[in-house]
A and B are shown apart, each in its own frame.
Chain A
Amino acid sequence: GQQVMQIPQYQHVQEGEDFTTYCNSSTTLSNIQWYKQRPGGHPVFLIQLVKSGEVKKQKRLTFQFGEAKKNSSLHITATQTTDVGTYFCAGLENQGGKLIFGQGTELSVKP
């Protein structure tokens, strides 16, 4: 079945460093969503990308959707301790309508 691979699994950074997580799908996606889950919490929606090559920004966060709509990335500039958590991508299948989550990237930020 369709898979969404997300790397890296873990990332430890010093506060102020940048961070990037990548998602890659085996098939073309209808859209891709990004979520953040704080330790002990539940996933919280960050953003949705729909168009091929789309780039969206939220303050220090930049989200990209690949031209082929099979990959995506989340980049955080100058990380802060408040960025700690696990970031998940979730791709919506083109056919069937299932939302497939990546395994998540757990970000830790050292002050």
Chain B
Amino acid sequence: KAGVTQTPRYLIKTRGQQVTLSCSPISGHRSVSWYQQTPGQGLQFLFEYFSETQRNKGNFPGRFSGRQFSNSRSEMNVSTLELGDSALYLCASTPLGGFSSSTDTQYFGPGTRLTVL
């Protein structure tokens, strides 16, 4: 089975621009979560989608948004980019009920490295 894929792998943008990142979960996985990883803040939860609905949301401003399609693929959008948005954005999928279920685990993708200049 193919793993979680994320595109693009690397991205360079300038302040004020917007960006869309894509995540394709493992086939059959219905839950997709997004994380931001930076050296200073570690891994921070952005949001989780399950069956096209946002089920959980972290403490990020409204500039960060996402959606999930009927095939479970997910996109994340960041508008009006700031320098501080430079980070590795990781997507993770879980097979059944999502990580809210006590028996599910997460499979991470390789991430998208976003640099904001």
Residues of A within 8 A of B (CB): 1, 30-31, 33, 35, 41-45, 48, 50, 88, 90, 92, 96-104
Contact = CB atoms under 8 A, between A and B. Distances in A.
Interface residues of B, number: 25
Given A97-B56, A99-B45, A43 B99 contact: no
Given A45-B107, A100-B45, A104-B42, A31 B58 contact: no
Contacts of B58: 98
A61 to B, nearest CB: 16
Main secondary structure of the interface of A (DSSP, over half): strand
B45 A42 contact: no
Contacts of B56: 96-98
B102 A45 contact: no
A22 B54 CA distance: 32
Given A45-B106, A101-B35, 17 more contacts: A1-B59, A30-B102, A41-B110, A42-B90, A42-B109, A43-B90, A43-B108, A45-B105, A45-B107, A50-B102, A90-B43, A97-B56, A97-B99, A99-B33, A99-B45, A99-B106, A104-B42
